[in-house]
Structure 1
Amino acid sequence: MGLVEESFIAAAGPGGQNVNKVATAVQLRVNVFALRLAPPVFHRLKELAGSKFTAGGEIVLTARRFRTQEANREDARARLADLLREACKLLEKRAKSRLNRVGKVQRLQGKKIRGAVKAGRGKVRFD
């Protein structure tokens, strides 16, 4: 198998009687190992692909949104390109926010006030 393999299958959905006669849906199979991606990109791609990623290291995309083979072929290729583009994005590390002493005191004070409000909502008892 090469890098990308296309096959056409019968599709459900729009197309009327034509849908029963013509294989308009496109199944795109991509060998991920042949792409030779960097390990972090590979892992992100695997995570993004989810159930589309097979045990054999392939991504299988099925496009059947349109009535024509050509439109479905373009759709499948665009979805593959989006998936690869998203996997190649570098994730920025989140910087920890730092809270000063005054902010910490204010936060705890707010929590105490909120707790008091909630405690006052309890069952009313007449002893």
Structure 2
Amino acid sequence: MRLTIHEHEVDWTAIRAQGAGGQNVNKVSSAVQLRFDIEASSLPEAVKARLRALPDQRIGTDGVIVIKAQTQRSQPRNLAEAMARLQALVDSVAQAPRKRIATKPTLGSKRRRIEAKVQRGKLKAERGRPNE
């Protein structure tokens, strides 16, 4: 299931990129910081709950996702990359996880487990001092 993120739900600001780049990095704001408020979005409630439950450092305690993109040299490409990352994050929780169906171990697996335990016990018993 693919949920679309509307551009009016996303706030972004242009910032100066970090790292090497010479004069260009000091005078051009080509990096993009994207902010997406989970609660104010038009996403379904179940998706919002799964997004909030993610153990992701980009999701703040206030429920705002902050994504910074600075790998590209131009601002539009950094914005497109940040939007793609946000879309990937939403897509990862868009589909509800399948419920696990509990199963019982087979009779053969039970026997193999017991036989392995018996073998291991015999090996350990032989390690002791010999009886006189």
Q: Say whether 1:61 aligns with 2:61.
A: no
Aligned with residue 9 of structure 1, among 7, 10, 15:
15
Describe the superposition over 1:24-43 as per-residue Cα deviations: whole angstroms up to 9, x where unpaired. 11000111112243443223
How many Å apart are 1:102 and its aligned residue? 3.8
Q: Residue 49 of structure 2 aligns to which amino acid in structure 1?
A: H
How is 1:1-127 mapped onto 2 (pairs within 5 angstroms)? 3-48=9-54, 50-117=56-123, 119=124
How many Å apart are 1:84 and its aligned residue? 0.6
For the Cα contact (< 8 Å) 1:46–1:53, is it kept in 2?
A: yes
Aligned to 2:43, what secondary structure does the other structure show?
coil
Q: Residue 114 of structure 2 aligns to which amino acid in structure 1?
A: L
Distance 2:15 2:113 in 1: 60
Query: For residues 75 and 126 of structure 1, do their structure 2 counterparts lie closer, same or farther at Cα, with a shift above 3 Å needed?
Result: same
Describe the superposition over 1:62-100 as per-residue Cα deviations: whole angstroms up to 9, x where unpaired. 111112111111110000000011111221112223223
Distance 2:126 2:19 in 1: 55
For the Cα contact (< 8 Å) 2:52–2:63, is it kept in 1?
A: no
Q: Report percent identity of matched pairs.
A: 35
Distance 2:30 2:126 in 1: 62
Which one has the bigger helix percentage?
A: 1
Q: Residue 56 of structure 1 aligns to which amino acid in structure 2?
A: D
Q: TM-score, normalised by structure 2?
A: 0.77
For the Cα contact (< 8 Å) 1:14–1:67, is it kept in 2?
A: no
How many Å apart are 1:121 and its aligned residue? 8.8
